[in-house]
A = this chain, B = another copy of it.
Amino acid sequence: MVGGGEGAYIGNIHRIAARLDNAWDLVAGAFDVDPEKGRAFALSEGIADDRAYADYKALITGELARKDRVDAVAICTPNFTHYPIAKALIEAGFDVICEKPLTATLEDAVALEKLTRESERFVGITYTYSGYPMVHEARVRIANGDIGKVRTVQVEYPLEWMATAIESKGNAQAAWRTDPQKNGRGGSIGDIGTHAYHLAGFVTGLELEALTADLATFVDGRALDDNAHVMLRYKGGARGLLWSSQVALGHSNGVRLRVFGEKGAIGWFQEQPNELNFAPLGEPVKVIKRGSDNLSADAIARTRTPPGHPEGYLEAFANLYSGFAEAIRARRSGRDPGVIGQNLPSVYDGLKGLAFVEAVVDSHEAEGQPWLAPLRV
């Protein structure tokens, strides 16, 4: 692991996720920009002295020199460092798991996606919501035609913790999220809107054709948007509405997706992730529970406990990590991956996220908020 040391929220989440299913051992790391702090943290995590590296370059050199080198490297550093680190790792022949966003700029993302494709390395990106079993269930049902052709998609990601200027009161998490240098051009749209965008595309299989966006910054002194309204047109005629907000009092991480088709509708809410609302045309709404009978192999493979014993965010994250492990193993063995190693968020999804944010901000900033198509690659 690179980054994610002492006090880093997301680093800890990655480690729990890697550990939960016993799919990974954490055996090496360069956890901090301060080499001493990084080493100390590594040792506290039980990493051997000679694999507690000063920085990612030392890690690359060190691991390349070992026969038992690491299977993959997780990148949990600030957004703007993702690209150089990932590039170096890929060029050195390592597989990579990268925290979202893929990079800080679209340009870097394009380059990284190209490099990945040409190098044939595995690069996964942690769009967490696509780790939830009932999100896969929704995806499978839609792919199977259970709701018919999709008509409209309503997706939102409201949260409240940045409703005041906490970035100026010492909240480090808020500080980098409101800094264009560190977060990129998008504020709420980059931080959480991309999750919503990925989730909608992941579940429906739809490709975006064009969008128009209206961004707002409600907290005084903030440099990036903290509320984004986006209208979407997907290829094939489906429409969508996307709302992301960092100032939505009363909401914690209220990711909600509703997909309406010709023959049915499906709804999922991240704060009650073990359920799916399924509304077939002409029938009552059914509440489908994770772990219940008659679910897809995709949902079952991502389930540990029976219905009624809730799984949550960490289990979804662990599903990604277990999926990455399976995908990497299968690739090395020259076999097809098992179910959990399929339908993983990829470097291409990461690139699409950057292209989405770019189009959103471009539309907003242009006169009249024109409909724009995100970059095609």
Query: Given the complex of chains A and B, what is the CA–CA distance between A307 and B263 in angstroms?
Result: 19
A343 interface hit (Cβ, 8 Å): no
Q: List chain B residues, Cβ under 8 A from A15.
A: 22
User: What is the CA–CA distance of A16 and B253 in the complex, to the nearest angstrom?
Assistant: 25
How distant is the Cα of A245 from the Cα of B16 in the complex, in angstroms? 35
Q: Using an 8 Å CB-CB cutoff, how does the interface string of A292-307 with B read, 1 for contact, 0 for none? A: 1100000000001111
A281/B163 in contact, CB under 8 A? yes
> Distance (Å) between the CB of A221 and the closest chain B CB?
14
A338 at the interface (CB under 8 A from B): no
For window 359-377 of A, CB contacts with B under 8 Å fall at 368-371
A87 contacts chain B at the CB level, 8 A cutoff:
no
Copies held by the complex: 4
**Does any Cβ of B come within 8 Å of A119's Cβ?**
no
Main secondary structure of the interface of A (DSSP, over half): loop
Question: Which residues from chain B contact A265 at a C-beta distance below 8 Å?
Answer: 248-251
A46 to chain B, nearest CB (A): 8
Q: How large is the interface on A (under 10, 10 to 19, 20 to 34, 35 or more residues)?
A: 35 or more
Interface residue? A291 (CB, 8 A):
yes
CB of A67 within 8 A of chain B? no
Please provide the chain A residues from 73 to 121 with a CB less than 8 Å away from any CB of chain B in the complex: none
B313 touching A311, Cβ below 8 Å:
yes
Whether A279 contacts B260 in the complex (CB less than 8 A), given A216-B152, A229-B241, A273-B310, comes out as no
Q: Is the CB of B292 within 8 A of A12?
A: no
Pick the contact of A227 from B147, B151, B229, B368 — CB < 8 Å?
A: B151
Q: Which residues of B contact A284 (CB under 8 A)?
A: 278, 286-289, 292
- For A239-273 the 0/1 string (1 means CB < 8 A from B) is 11101010111111110000011111101001111
Contact B243 A216 (CB under 8 A): no
Contact B253 A249 (CB under 8 A): no
In the complex, chain B residues whose CB is within 8 Å of the CB of A27? none
| A133 to B21 CA separation, bound complex (whole angstroms) | 22
Other-chain residue from B241, B249, B306 in contact with A264 (beta carbon distance below 8 A): B249
> How many angstroms between the C-alpha atoms of A115 and B217 in the bound complex?
42
Nearest-neighbor residue (CB-CB) of A281 within chain B = B249
Q: How far is the CB of A239 from chain B (nearest CB, A)?
A: 5
A126 at the interface (CB under 8 A from B): no
Residue from A231, A263, A284, A305 with most neighbouring chain B CB atoms (10 Å): A284
Say yes or no: is A201 at the interface (Cβ < 8 Å to chain B).
no
- Asked whether A185 is an interface residue with its Cβ less than 8 Å from the other chain, the reply is no
Q: List 28 A-B contacts (CB under 8 A).
A: A19-B19, A20-B20, A22-B45, A151-B216, A152-B218, A152-B245, A152-B247, A152-B248, A163-B281, A212-B369, A214-B231, A229-B239, A229-B241, A248-B265, A249-B261, A249-B279, A250-B277, A252-B292, A252-B307, A271-B274, A271-B308, A272-B272, A284-B289, A284-B292, A285-B287, A287-B287, A310-B310, A368-B368
